[in-house]
Amino acid sequence: MQYVRLGRSGLKISRIGLGGFSFGDKAWQSWMLPEAESRPIIARAIDLGINFIDTADMYSNGVSETIIGNIWPDLARREALVIATKAFGVTGPGPNERGLSRKHLFDAIDGSLKRLKTDYVDLYQTHRTDHDTPIEETLEAMHEIVKSGKARYFGMSNILAYELMRVISICEKNGWTKPISVQNHYNLAYREEEREMIPLCQLEGVGVTPWSPLARGFLAGKTTRGGVTGSERAGADPFIQRFFSGDADYDVQDAVRALAEVKGVSMAEIAVAWMLSKPYVAAPVMGATKPEQIESAVRALDISLTADEIAALEAPYKPHPVLLHL
Protein backbone atom coordinates (compact mmCIF):
# COMPACT_ATOMS: atom_id res chain seq x y z
CA MET A 1 0.00 0.00 0.00
CA GLN A 2 1.06 3.56 -0.67
CA TYR A 3 0.33 6.45 1.68
CA VAL A 4 0.10 10.17 1.01
CA ARG A 5 -0.42 13.36 2.99
CA LEU A 6 -3.95 14.68 2.79
CA GLY A 7 -3.59 18.20 1.43
CA ARG A 8 -1.03 20.24 3.33
CA SER A 9 -1.87 18.54 6.60
CA GLY A 10 0.37 15.97 8.28
CA LEU A 11 -2.36 13.31 8.06
CA LYS A 12 -1.31 10.31 5.96
CA ILE A 13 -3.97 8.22 4.27
CA SER A 14 -3.83 5.14 2.07
CA ARG A 15 -4.02 5.87 -1.65
CA ILE A 16 -7.21 3.80 -1.74
CA GLY A 17 -10.03 4.71 0.62
CA LEU A 18 -12.83 2.37 1.67
CA GLY A 19 -16.28 3.93 1.42
CA GLY A 20 -19.01 2.89 3.83
CA PHE A 21 -22.07 3.59 1.69
CA SER A 22 -22.62 -0.12 0.92
CA PHE A 23 -22.67 -1.14 4.58
CA GLY A 24 -26.14 -0.87 6.03
CA ASP A 25 -29.76 -1.84 6.02
CA LYS A 26 -31.43 -3.50 3.03
CA ALA A 27 -34.60 -1.62 3.92
CA TRP A 28 -32.71 1.56 2.99
CA GLN A 29 -31.35 0.19 -0.30
CA SER A 30 -31.85 -3.37 -1.55
CA TRP A 31 -28.14 -3.91 -2.20
CA MET A 32 -26.91 -2.78 1.24
CA LEU A 33 -24.75 -5.26 3.15
CA PRO A 34 -25.56 -6.17 6.77
CA GLU A 35 -22.78 -6.53 9.31
CA ALA A 36 -21.94 -10.18 8.59
CA GLU A 37 -21.45 -9.45 4.89
CA SER A 38 -19.61 -6.18 5.52
CA ARG A 39 -17.02 -7.69 7.84
CA PRO A 40 -15.00 -9.60 5.19
CA ILE A 41 -14.75 -6.44 3.06
CA ILE A 42 -13.52 -4.24 5.91
CA ALA A 43 -11.16 -6.99 7.07
CA ARG A 44 -9.67 -7.43 3.61
CA ALA A 45 -9.25 -3.69 3.16
CA ILE A 46 -7.34 -3.37 6.43
CA ASP A 47 -5.31 -6.48 5.59
CA LEU A 48 -4.27 -4.82 2.31
CA GLY A 49 -3.06 -1.73 4.16
CA ILE A 50 -6.05 0.53 3.65
CA ASN A 51 -6.24 2.82 6.67
CA PHE A 52 -8.75 5.38 5.34
CA ILE A 53 -12.39 4.40 6.01
CA ASP A 54 -15.05 6.95 5.04
CA THR A 55 -18.74 6.97 5.88
CA ALA A 56 -21.57 9.38 6.80
CA ASP A 57 -24.17 9.56 9.53
CA MET A 58 -27.03 9.40 7.03
CA TYR A 59 -25.90 6.19 5.29
CA SER A 60 -28.65 3.71 6.13
CA ASN A 61 -29.77 6.14 8.83
CA GLY A 62 -26.63 5.57 10.87
CA VAL A 63 -26.36 1.81 10.35
CA SER A 64 -23.19 2.17 8.24
CA GLU A 65 -21.43 3.87 11.15
CA THR A 66 -22.73 1.23 13.55
CA ILE A 67 -21.43 -1.59 11.37
CA ILE A 68 -18.00 0.00 11.02
CA GLY A 69 -17.94 0.68 14.76
CA ASN A 70 -18.75 -2.95 15.54
CA ILE A 71 -16.05 -4.28 13.22
CA TRP A 72 -12.93 -2.12 13.36
CA PRO A 73 -12.02 -2.83 17.02
CA ASP A 74 -11.56 -6.52 16.15
CA LEU A 75 -9.17 -5.74 13.30
CA ALA A 76 -6.89 -2.82 14.08
CA ARG A 77 -5.59 -0.40 16.68
CA ARG A 78 -7.46 2.90 16.61
CA GLU A 79 -4.21 4.80 15.99
CA ALA A 80 -3.64 2.78 12.81
CA LEU A 81 -6.88 3.90 11.20
CA VAL A 82 -8.11 7.13 9.65
CA ILE A 83 -11.86 7.11 10.24
CA ALA A 84 -13.88 9.78 8.46
CA THR A 85 -17.57 10.60 8.58
CA LYS A 86 -19.91 13.37 7.46
CA ALA A 87 -22.81 15.41 8.78
CA PHE A 88 -25.74 17.18 7.14
CA GLY A 89 -28.40 14.56 6.45
CA VAL A 90 -31.51 13.85 8.49
CA THR A 91 -30.74 11.96 11.71
CA GLY A 92 -34.13 12.25 13.41
CA PRO A 93 -37.66 13.69 13.14
CA GLY A 94 -36.99 17.09 14.69
CA PRO A 95 -36.31 20.31 12.76
CA ASN A 96 -32.82 20.59 14.26
CA GLU A 97 -31.81 17.01 13.41
CA ARG A 98 -30.40 17.91 10.00
CA GLY A 99 -28.23 20.54 8.35
CA LEU A 100 -25.07 22.26 9.53
CA SER A 101 -26.26 24.40 12.42
CA ARG A 102 -24.13 24.59 15.56
CA LYS A 103 -26.77 22.64 17.45
CA HIS A 104 -26.98 19.83 14.94
CA LEU A 105 -23.24 19.52 14.38
CA PHE A 106 -22.59 19.22 18.13
CA ASP A 107 -25.32 16.58 18.42
CA ALA A 108 -24.29 14.82 15.21
CA ILE A 109 -20.63 14.38 16.13
CA ASP A 110 -21.61 12.81 19.45
CA GLY A 111 -24.00 10.45 17.68
CA SER A 112 -21.35 9.45 15.14
CA LEU A 113 -18.74 8.83 17.83
CA LYS A 114 -21.14 6.60 19.73
CA ARG A 115 -22.00 4.55 16.65
CA LEU A 116 -18.38 4.33 15.48
CA LYS A 117 -17.22 3.31 18.98
CA THR A 118 -14.43 5.86 19.07
CA ASP A 119 -13.55 8.94 21.09
CA TYR A 120 -12.72 10.91 17.94
CA VAL A 121 -12.90 10.82 14.17
CA ASP A 122 -9.83 11.71 12.17
CA LEU A 123 -11.77 13.64 9.53
CA TYR A 124 -15.19 15.25 10.04
CA GLN A 125 -16.80 16.50 6.84
CA THR A 126 -19.75 18.63 5.87
CA HIS A 127 -21.79 16.45 3.51
CA ARG A 128 -23.59 19.23 1.67
CA THR A 129 -23.90 23.02 1.73
CA ASP A 130 -26.57 24.17 4.18
CA HIS A 131 -28.27 27.19 2.66
CA ASP A 132 -30.38 27.71 5.81
CA THR A 133 -27.43 28.22 8.16
CA PRO A 134 -24.91 31.08 8.05
CA ILE A 135 -21.61 29.65 6.87
CA GLU A 136 -19.83 31.42 9.75
CA GLU A 137 -21.92 29.44 12.24
CA THR A 138 -20.99 26.16 10.57
CA LEU A 139 -17.29 26.95 10.32
CA GLU A 140 -16.97 28.13 13.92
CA ALA A 141 -18.73 24.95 15.06
CA MET A 142 -16.38 22.78 13.00
CA HIS A 143 -13.42 24.69 14.42
CA GLU A 144 -14.64 24.05 17.96
CA ILE A 145 -15.27 20.37 17.25
CA VAL A 146 -11.67 20.03 16.09
CA LYS A 147 -10.34 22.00 19.05
CA SER A 148 -12.39 19.85 21.44
CA GLY A 149 -10.57 16.77 20.17
CA LYS A 150 -13.70 15.08 18.85
CA ALA A 151 -12.27 15.43 15.33
CA ARG A 152 -8.64 15.75 14.33
CA TYR A 153 -9.32 17.58 11.04
CA PHE A 154 -12.30 18.76 9.02
CA GLY A 155 -13.17 18.58 5.35
CA MET A 156 -16.03 19.30 2.98
CA SER A 157 -18.02 17.30 0.45
CA ASN A 158 -20.24 18.21 -2.50
CA ILE A 159 -19.20 21.84 -2.50
CA LEU A 160 -18.66 24.32 -5.32
CA ALA A 161 -15.34 26.07 -5.93
CA TYR A 162 -16.60 29.55 -5.03
CA GLU A 163 -18.04 28.14 -1.80
CA LEU A 164 -14.73 26.53 -0.88
CA MET A 165 -12.84 29.75 -1.55
CA ARG A 166 -15.29 31.64 0.66
CA VAL A 167 -14.84 29.03 3.39
CA ILE A 168 -11.06 29.35 3.28
CA SER A 169 -11.28 33.15 3.38
CA ILE A 170 -13.64 33.16 6.38
CA CYS A 171 -11.48 30.66 8.28
CA GLU A 172 -8.33 32.68 7.61
CA LYS A 173 -10.03 35.91 8.66
CA ASN A 174 -11.21 34.46 11.97
CA GLY A 175 -8.25 32.23 12.76
CA TRP A 176 -10.39 29.10 12.54
CA THR A 177 -9.31 25.64 11.45
CA LYS A 178 -9.37 25.35 7.65
CA PRO A 179 -10.63 22.32 5.72
CA ILE A 180 -7.88 19.94 4.63
CA SER A 181 -9.91 18.03 2.03
CA VAL A 182 -12.74 18.05 -0.46
CA GLN A 183 -14.73 14.94 -1.39
CA ASN A 184 -16.62 15.66 -4.59
CA HIS A 185 -17.96 13.63 -7.48
CA TYR A 186 -15.11 12.94 -9.92
CA ASN A 187 -14.23 10.14 -12.33
CA LEU A 188 -13.44 9.51 -16.01
CA ALA A 189 -17.12 9.91 -16.92
CA TYR A 190 -17.64 13.07 -14.84
CA ARG A 191 -14.73 15.53 -14.97
CA GLU A 192 -16.37 18.90 -14.35
CA GLU A 193 -14.27 19.31 -11.19
CA GLU A 194 -11.25 19.92 -13.43
CA ARG A 195 -12.59 23.35 -14.41
CA GLU A 196 -12.39 25.20 -11.09
CA MET A 197 -12.43 22.96 -8.02
CA ILE A 198 -9.28 20.95 -8.66
CA PRO A 199 -7.13 23.97 -9.62
CA LEU A 200 -8.37 25.71 -6.48
CA CYS A 201 -7.54 22.70 -4.31
CA GLN A 202 -4.05 22.58 -5.81
CA LEU A 203 -3.57 26.30 -5.18
CA GLU A 204 -4.80 26.17 -1.58
CA GLY A 205 -3.30 22.82 -0.60
CA VAL A 206 -6.62 21.04 -0.13
CA GLY A 207 -6.60 17.27 -0.58
CA VAL A 208 -8.97 15.61 -3.06
CA THR A 209 -10.68 12.31 -2.15
CA PRO A 210 -13.23 11.75 -4.92
CA TRP A 211 -16.35 9.72 -4.43
CA SER A 212 -17.78 7.40 -7.09
CA PRO A 213 -14.47 6.74 -8.88
CA LEU A 214 -16.20 4.05 -10.95
CA ALA A 215 -19.22 6.25 -11.74
CA ARG A 216 -21.55 4.02 -9.72
CA GLY A 217 -20.21 0.98 -11.57
CA PHE A 218 -20.64 2.50 -15.03
CA LEU A 219 -16.87 2.53 -15.65
CA ALA A 220 -16.67 -1.11 -14.55
CA GLY A 221 -19.12 -2.00 -17.33
CA LYS A 222 -22.08 -2.66 -15.06
CA THR A 223 -24.39 -1.05 -17.62
CA THR A 224 -24.14 -1.14 -21.42
CA ARG A 225 -25.53 0.85 -24.33
CA GLY A 226 -28.41 -1.59 -24.41
CA GLY A 227 -29.22 -0.86 -20.78
CA VAL A 228 -28.10 -4.27 -19.59
CA THR A 229 -27.11 -4.31 -15.93
CA GLY A 230 -24.39 -6.42 -14.37
CA SER A 231 -25.13 -6.05 -10.67
CA GLU A 232 -28.01 -5.64 -8.25
CA ARG A 233 -26.97 -2.06 -7.57
CA ALA A 234 -26.78 -1.19 -11.26
CA GLY A 235 -30.31 -2.46 -11.70
CA ALA A 236 -31.63 -0.62 -8.65
CA ASP A 237 -29.74 2.68 -8.87
CA PRO A 238 -31.69 5.24 -10.93
CA PHE A 239 -28.78 7.67 -10.94
CA ILE A 240 -26.62 5.53 -13.24
CA GLN A 241 -28.90 6.01 -16.24
CA ARG A 242 -29.68 9.59 -15.26
CA PHE A 243 -26.02 10.60 -15.07
CA PHE A 244 -24.31 8.30 -17.57
CA SER A 245 -26.43 7.38 -20.55
CA GLY A 246 -25.28 9.58 -23.42
CA ASP A 247 -23.27 8.41 -26.42
CA ALA A 248 -20.17 10.23 -25.18
CA ASP A 249 -20.45 8.46 -21.81
CA TYR A 250 -20.48 5.10 -23.53
CA ASP A 251 -17.59 6.21 -25.71
CA VAL A 252 -15.63 6.78 -22.50
CA GLN A 253 -16.72 3.35 -21.29
CA ASP A 254 -15.57 1.83 -24.60
CA ALA A 255 -12.16 3.50 -24.24
CA VAL A 256 -11.79 2.02 -20.76
CA ARG A 257 -12.82 -1.42 -22.01
CA ALA A 258 -10.39 -1.29 -24.94
CA LEU A 259 -7.40 -0.39 -22.77
CA ALA A 260 -8.37 -2.98 -20.17
CA GLU A 261 -8.31 -5.66 -22.87
CA VAL A 262 -4.90 -4.52 -24.10
CA LYS A 263 -3.41 -4.59 -20.61
CA GLY A 264 -5.20 -7.74 -19.49
CA VAL A 265 -6.82 -6.11 -16.46
CA SER A 266 -10.35 -5.19 -15.46
CA MET A 267 -12.15 -2.04 -16.54
CA ALA A 268 -12.40 -1.00 -12.90
CA GLU A 269 -8.63 -1.21 -12.53
CA ILE A 270 -8.11 1.05 -15.55
CA ALA A 271 -10.60 3.61 -14.21
CA VAL A 272 -8.89 3.66 -10.81
CA ALA A 273 -5.40 3.74 -12.36
CA TRP A 274 -6.42 6.81 -14.38
CA MET A 275 -7.51 8.54 -11.18
CA LEU A 276 -4.32 7.58 -9.37
CA SER A 277 -2.31 9.05 -12.25
CA LYS A 278 -3.57 12.51 -11.29
CA PRO A 279 -1.18 14.12 -8.79
CA TYR A 280 -3.99 16.09 -7.15
CA VAL A 281 -5.97 12.97 -6.17
CA ALA A 282 -4.99 11.80 -2.70
CA ALA A 283 -7.27 8.76 -2.58
CA PRO A 284 -10.41 7.73 -4.44
CA VAL A 285 -13.06 6.47 -2.03
CA MET A 286 -14.07 3.01 -3.21
CA GLY A 287 -17.40 1.47 -2.36
CA ALA A 288 -17.48 -2.32 -2.36
CA THR A 289 -19.94 -5.16 -2.00
CA LYS A 290 -17.27 -7.90 -2.35
CA PRO A 291 -13.71 -8.23 -1.04
CA GLU A 292 -12.53 -8.83 -4.61
CA GLN A 293 -13.55 -5.28 -5.53
CA ILE A 294 -11.17 -3.88 -2.93
CA GLU A 295 -8.43 -6.21 -4.16
CA SER A 296 -9.02 -4.92 -7.68
CA ALA A 297 -8.72 -1.30 -6.57
CA VAL A 298 -5.44 -2.03 -4.81
CA ARG A 299 -4.06 -3.77 -7.91
CA ALA A 300 -4.61 -0.51 -9.79
CA LEU A 301 -1.74 0.98 -7.77
CA ASP A 302 0.64 -1.12 -9.87
CA ILE A 303 -0.77 -0.05 -13.25
CA SER A 304 1.20 2.66 -15.02
CA LEU A 305 -0.52 4.57 -17.79
CA THR A 306 1.41 6.33 -20.53
CA ALA A 307 0.58 9.85 -21.63
CA ASP A 308 -0.92 8.44 -24.83
CA GLU A 309 -3.08 5.96 -22.90
CA ILE A 310 -4.36 8.72 -20.62
CA ALA A 311 -5.13 10.89 -23.65
CA ALA A 312 -7.08 8.04 -25.27
CA LEU A 313 -9.15 7.54 -22.11
CA GLU A 314 -9.93 11.25 -21.84
CA ALA A 315 -10.56 12.05 -25.52
CA PRO A 316 -14.23 10.95 -25.74
CA TYR A 317 -15.36 13.08 -22.79
CA LYS A 318 -18.08 15.68 -23.33
CA PRO A 319 -19.08 18.31 -20.71
CA HIS A 320 -21.85 17.46 -18.25
CA PRO A 321 -24.21 19.57 -16.18
CA VAL A 322 -22.91 19.98 -12.64
CA LEU A 323 -24.24 17.10 -10.57
CA LEU A 324 -25.19 16.66 -6.92
CA HIS A 325 -23.96 19.95 -5.50
CA LEU A 326 -27.06 20.45 -3.39
Rg of the chain over Cα atoms, rounded to whole angstroms, equals 19
Is the separation of the CB atoms in 305 and 273 below 8 Å?
A: yes
E strand or H helix at 106, and its extent? helix 102-116
Neighbouring residues of 53: CB distance < 8 A, sequence distance ≥ 6: 17, 18, 20, 42, 45, 68, 72, 81, 82, 83, 84
Q: How many CA atoms lie within 13 A of 46 on its CB side?
A: 22
How many C-beta atoms lie closer than 10 Å to residue 99's C-beta? 21
The whole-angstrom separation of Cα 108 and Cα 98 is 9
Is the separation of the CB atoms in 284 and 213 below 8 Å?
A: yes
What proportions of the chain, in percent to the nearest 5, are helix, strand and coil? Answer: 45, 15, 40
CB-based burial, 34-47: b 16+ in 10 Å, e otherwise: eeeebbebbbbbbe
Specify the amino acid at residue 235: G
Annotated catalytic residue 59? yes
Q: Which of 3, 59, 120, 250 is catalytic?
A: 59
Closest CA to 24 of 101, 118, 89, 119: 89
Angle at 286 between CA 282 and CA 292, to 5 degrees: 125
Give the residue numbers marked as catalytic: 59
